[in-house]
Every structure is written in structure tokens, then in C-alpha cells.
A and B are shown apart, each in its own frame.
Chain A
Amino acid sequence: MSADSMNKIPGEKLLELLYWMMLTRRIDDRCEALFKQGCFPGGIFSQEGHEAISVGSAILLEEGDAIAPMHRDLGAYLVRGMSPGRIFAQAMGRQGAPSGGRDVNTHGLGDISLRIFGYVSHLPQSMGIALGAAYSFLYRKEDRVALTYFGDGASSEGGCHEALNLAAVLKAPVVFILENNQYAYSTPIEKQCLVENLSIRAEGYGIPGVTIDGTDVISVMETTREAIDRARGGDGPTLIECKNLRLKGHAAHDPADYIPPDLLRRWKKRDPISLFRERLENSGLLDKNTLAELQSRVEAETEAGVEWAEASPWPEAATLEEDVFSDA
């Protein structure tokens, strides 16, 4: 479908996309294993099936751009500079994590110096946060953009409406990425809304909305690129609905036996990483050696991250009451 657009992207960049998606998958798998071994005091969300969305969009950001992610955007964190070690440390509840053990898994996985805003559970708070970052860009007349993500589930929350409308009215340089993975925990999409494409709601706000294949990283990238250009050009926000299926449970504890096996089987064939890898192979852009190199690089970085996190000390109980307020 997006063969033409793929040709315009330098081979190096394509391999970079594959690398980030593979790293996301490897860390996701490793997290599941660590969870099952009891190495995480709390739970961990699954990422499988979302790699093309988070990587294909975040890869376009430049230094100074901001990102307000949700819980399926591990790829976006990685691309924006959050190290695997800090990500594992967060799930393990260690000092070396961005929250120093105060917040769980990808929640609160923020770093202002990277312009990554740590999210709260309450979906879709990140939409308002991204809008605020975008307003700061307008305020300071900076040529920057903010990217935010929310799910089909969160799209039913009232805040989603408010944020889209306010962003539209302000012509804020923000891109809204709706990850429609067809489920909100156990609730299927047909119990959440009556429309085929959630992106049609954009029309009600007077902004462009588009639905794309969320398993196709090139499509995600090219669509997001247009939206970012619009935002930087002063034309305001865009709503991009990326359709996919969550290929695992909501979180590592969830066997997701509520997903019809047929549906799962169909979408497993559209695993975003396999799809992209095959395309690269078929176009002669990826050979066995390069793939093996990527695999071992991803493996090494993941294991180094786990080691780094395990070496990170537990937080001191004596620090419990510190930092509720900022002193200066």
C-alpha cells in the first residue's frame, strides 16, 4: 500500500525503524518474562501490535519537540531517549528509574530534559498535557510540535472531546494519535462506539482526521509527517486513527481469552514487525547478516538494561515523604 512512500525513505532510516521496533518487542517480551518470574512488584502492560504506531510517529520528532504518551508507547519512549535500563528500573521499583520507585511501569516514566511527560493512569490526561506543551510553543513562538497518544477506550472519555476541541480552537501544534486496538481492556470496540472510523469525529472539531493501518509503520510515519508539517506550519492539530489489534493481554496478568481466536489469528498475521521485515527483505534492503546484527544489538541492549536496573538500589524508606513539593 505504501510502497511508493517507502522508496522515498533512505535505507538507513528504514533500518532504524526496524531496530526501534525490534528493541520495543524485545523489551516487551523481557518485561513479560520478568513479570512472570516475580521480578516486578507490580504489573506491566503489553506492547505487542503497537510498535509501528509508537515508533513510526515518534521517530519524526526533533530535539525540543514534546511527547505525552500512554501505556502502549514503549517504542516512543525508546526513540525519544528513555534508556532500557531506566524502563526496567521503573518496573522493578528501583532508585535509578525516572520516578525513583515512586510510580509503576510506564506510568510516571517522564523526563523533562527529554520532553517526555510521565502519564497518570487517568486516561486520557496526556491529551491535555500535550496541548499545554503545544501552547507553550505558540506562546514562545517556537517551531515545535507535541505528540500525544490515546486509545479507543479513552476516546469515549469526556476529556477527549474537550482536548480535541480546545486544540482545534487554539490551532495548537499538536498531533493526536488514536491507537484503536479494538479493545479497552476486555471491552470490544463495538460496545464502545457505533462508528466504523473514530477519525470521523475530527470533522466535528473542524480539523483533519484520517484512519490508517496501524500495523504499517511507513503509513504511520508518512501520515504523521504530514500532520507534523501542518502543525509546524500553523495549521493546527490532526487526529490520526491507527487501527491494529492488541496482540496480547491488556497487561501481563491477562490471558485475554475474551478475544475471539479467529480475530487474533487474522491480526497475528499482520504483526507490524514481521510485515515490515518482510517488506525490507523483499525490497533487498535487509539481508540475513544485517538482521542478525540487529537482533544481537537489540538483545545486548536489552540485557544491559536489565542488568543496569537490577544493579540499581532500592529506594530508601526514609525518603518516603520527600519531594511532595518542590522547594525552589
Chain B
Amino acid sequence: MPDLSYIEAINQALHQEMERDENVFVLGEDVGEFGGAFKATAGLYEKFGRRRVLDTPMCEWAFIGLANGAAMMGLKPVVEIQFADFISTGFDPIVQYAATTHYRWGAKLPLVIRAPWGGGACAGPFHSQCKEAWFAHCPGLKIVIPSTPHDAKGLLISAIRDPNPVIFFEPKYLYRRQKMEVPLETYASPLGKAAIRREGSALSIITYGAMVPEALEAAETLSAENISCEVVDLRTLVPLDKKTVLDSVRKTSRALIVHEAVRTAGFGAEVAAIISEEAFDALDAPPARLTAPDTPVPYSPPLEKAFRPDADKIAVRARELIRY
């Protein structure tokens, strides 16, 4: 098995799915010969040509609309949004059209929207946002946020094969940070299945995306203090694997929910509410959230470091929760 980075795993999944299925095509800004702003689509243009690797002008509204129409005609568009922040310019085609169509009149709309997402790269307020909660509030959209190269490939393949619109957020902080063994053959990792990344007994850290490696690092630190943490990687927010979350919390009796997105009405609030409603009896402490504060994402390193949760902050919050 070759070692691949996150971005290489994405690239491989795209190559393989386009080879497998003539209906799969990619579109977006600079995805063609240039290979995309992060090189996720490198080599596709050379192999599949312009028809299937479509460079678009800057027009998220129109090219997502195009993808919607093409999807209903039986094609499988994989849209790249250059940075997840720009998804707002194409909001209506996603949240009004794609999300509602199957429910409203039965047309299948198999669409994938890939978007390099999140901060940690000093990219400032408009190249760092985590807006998954916007979409979690729209029934009809699936939301996938892989945290490892292995998942990046397996979940992207599942997203492409899924008959529904899928928003696929890629923590760009992880694009080139880790390499791991990724099978060369194709495999589809199921949507709606969380992963226990580390088993533990005293506290469940429930998180996703780029906070997963931070949580694992914190768990390692805490284990030296005899605090045993379980780390739950949600992998997909919609559908949400409630069972794995609740089983974990029932086992550990404490829940710390961590995300990079801002706090108010973030996805963590939903997870906390579910735990409170469905596992209240098992809790030894109130479900806690560790999130970014309610501010835009700041640019300068000391500000962004203060903004973004990390392993140290997770460890601090975990200790508090254990002492509760």
C-alpha cells in the first residue's frame, strides 16, 4: 500500500471514479490544466479532456446550477469550490434547489460539492471558514468531513456514488500534513458511520475534520495523566451516526464536543442537545463544547492561534470536565 497525503488520496479517488464511470465529471475554477488551486484535480485534464474536466469562469451560482441540471440528467458532477468560504455565492442552487428536489418532485440529484475548508493556515477571514452548520440546517443535503487520507478517498468515492447531493468539506490544514497507507484499489467507506479513533473510558471527545488529530494528541497527553479519552470522529454530520456517539457517551459518561467552527448554533450544539436528550441519565457532567469563539476568522498568527481549538486547549477543557 502506498503512503498518500490527504490531497493525493482525493486526487486518486477522482482519477479512479472518473475511470470507472463515464458519467462522472469535475468542474470549477482552475480545475483543468492548472489542476486546481490545491492540485486536487491534477492530471485529470490530461487524461479525460475538457469535456469531463471543465474550467468555469468565476460564477458559483451558475456552475452549481449547471451541476444540478446535469445531475438530474443522469451525470455525476463533482464541483470544486476553490475555498469553502466562496460557497456562499452559490448558496441558492445548493440549499434551495439541490436540497429540496428529491423531496419535492422525486428527481434524483447526485451531486458532490468538494470544498477546501477550515483554518490554521493564516489565510484570513475569507479563506478559513467552517460553514457546515449552514448546510446541516438544510434537509436533503449530506455533509461529509473526512479527517484522514484513508477516509478522504473512501468517503469521496461513497459521495460520488451516492444518489443525493453531498457537501464534501476537506480540511485543507490536513492536505499535506500527514501521509498514511491508502489502498490502491477503490473502496467506498459508508456515509453515516462514525469512527472510534481511540478507545477510552473517562471521557468522549466528539469531533471531526482537522480537530481529530488535535483530539488524538490531547488524548495522548492526557493518558500520561491517567485520563483515558475516547476519540469519536463523526466523519459525516449528515447522516449522523447517533448510535456511536451515544454508545461512547454512555460508556464514558462525559462528553466534550470539539469543532473549528464558531460556537453559536454550531454543529456541536446539535450534538450536545442529542446527548442531553438521549443520554442524560448516563452523564456525570454537562456536555461541554470547545469551539472557536463567535468572531470572524482572524489572520495574524497569535490571533488565529487564539481563535482555533487545538490539542492544548482540548486537554485543558478535558481536565476541567474530568474534575466536574
Inter-chain contacts of A68 with B (CB < 8 A): 69
CB-based contact A98/B105 at 8 Å: yes
- Closest A residue to B64 by beta carbon equals A128
How far is the CB of A241 from the nearest CB of chain B, in Å? 20
Determine the distance from Cα of A120 to Cα of B63 in the docked complex, in whole angstroms.
17
Residues of B within 8 A of A110 (CB): 101, 104-105, 107
Given A165-B59, A169-B57, answer yes or no on A132-B104 (Cβ-Cβ < 8 Å): no
Q: Which residues of chain A come closer than 8 Å to B296, judged between CB atoms?
A: none
- The verdict on A108 contacting B105 (CB below 8 Å), with A131-B69, A159-B61 known, is yes
Which of A102, A117, A135, A169 has a CB less than 8 Å from the CB of B103?
A: A102
> Is the pair B93, A128 in contact by a Cβ cutoff of 8 Å?
yes
Contact across chains for A112 and B59 when beta carbons are under 8 A apart: no
Give the chain A neighbours of B74 by CB distance below 8 A: 136
Q: Which residue of A lies closest to B164 (CB)?
A: A325
Instruction: Considering the complex, give the chain B residue whose CB is closest to the CB of A326.
Output: B163
Size class of the contact patch on chain B: 35 or more
Q: Once the chains bind, are A132 and B65 in contact (CB under 8 Å)?
A: yes
Which residue of the partner chain, among A109, A131, A325, contacts B66 with CB atoms under 8 Å?
A131
> Does any Cβ of A come within 8 Å of B37's Cβ?
no
> Which A residues between 80 and 126 are near B, CB-CB below 8 angstroms?
98-100, 102-103, 107-112, 117-118, 120-122, 125
Query: Does B306 reach chain A (CB closer than 8 Å)?
Result: no
Given A122-B92, A159-B92, A328-B163, A103:B104 Cβ within 8 A? yes
Instruction: Report B-chain residues with C-beta under 8 Å of the C-beta of A112.
Output: 72, 106-107
B25 CB to closest chain A CB, in angstroms? 7
Query: Cα distance A125–B60 when bound, in Å?
Result: 12
Measured between beta carbons, the chain B residues less than 8 angstroms from A125 are 65, 92-93, 96-97
Across the interface, do B108 and A326 meet the contact criterion of CB distance under 8 Å? Answer: yes
Contact with B along A295-326 (1 / 0, CB 8 A): 00000000000000000000000000001111
Q: Determine if A132 and B69 form an interchain contact, defined as CB atoms under 8 angstroms apart.
A: yes
A275 within 8 A of B: no
Q: Are B96 and A136 in contact (CB under 8 A)?
A: no
Q: How many contacts A-B (CB < 8 Å)?
A: 137
A128 and B105 within 8 A (CB)? no
Chain A: interface size category:
35 or more
- For the complex, is B271 an interface residue (Cβ under 8 Å from A)? no
Closest to A110 in B: B105
For the complex, give the distance between the alpha carbons of A99 and B104 in Å: 5
List residues 99-125 of chain B with CB under 8 A from any CB of chain A: 100-108
Could you say which of A127, A146, A169, A326 contacts B164, with CB atoms under 8 Å apart?
A326
Q: Which residues of B contact A122 (CB under 8 A)?
A: 92, 96-97
- The reply to whether A166 and B70 contact each other, CB–CB distance below 8 Å, is no
* B61-A136 in contact (CB<8A): no
Indicate whether A136 sits within 8 Å of B70 (C-beta atoms), given known contacts A128-B64, A129-B65, A325-B142: yes
- B283 interfacial contact with A, CB 8 Å: no
Contact of B67 among A98, A132, A146, A324 (CB under 8 A): A132
- Chain B residues near A121 (CB-CB < 8 A): 96
Assembly CA distance A325 to B25 (angstroms): 22
CB-CB under 8 A from B71, the residues of chain A are: 132
Q: Which of B64, B70, B103 sits near A323, CB closer than 8 Å?
A: B103
A66 in contact (CB, < 8 A) = yes
Please judge, given known A-B contacts A324-B139, A325-B164, whether A132 and B105 are in contact too, CB under 8 Å: no
**Do A163 and B62 have beta carbons less than 8 Å apart?**
yes
Chain B residues, CB < 8 A from A107: 104
**What residues of A have a CB within 8 angstroms of the CB of B163 in the complex?**
325-328
**Any chain A CB within 8 A of the CB of B51?**
yes
In the assembled complex, which residues on chain A have CB atoms less than 8 Å from the CB atom of B100? 120
Chain A residues with CB below 8 A from B77, complex form: 132
Residue of A nearest to B73 (CB): A136
Question: Taking the nearest CB of chain B, how far is it from the CB of A133, in angstroms?
Answer: 5
Nearest CB on B from A100, distance (A): 8
Having A131-B65, A133-B70, A133-B72, one finds 9 other A-B pairs with CB under 8 Å, namely A98-B106, A102-B105, A125-B97, A128-B62, A128-B64, A136-B73, A139-B70, A324-B139, A325-B164
The 24 sampled A-B contact pairs (Cβ below 8 Å) are A99-B106, A107-B104, A110-B107, A118-B101, A121-B96, A128-B66, A128-B68, A129-B68, A129-B97, A132-B67, A132-B73, A132-B77, A133-B70, A133-B72, A139-B25, A139-B75, A158-B61, A159-B61, A162-B62, A163-B61, A163-B62, A166-B59, A324-B103, A324-B139
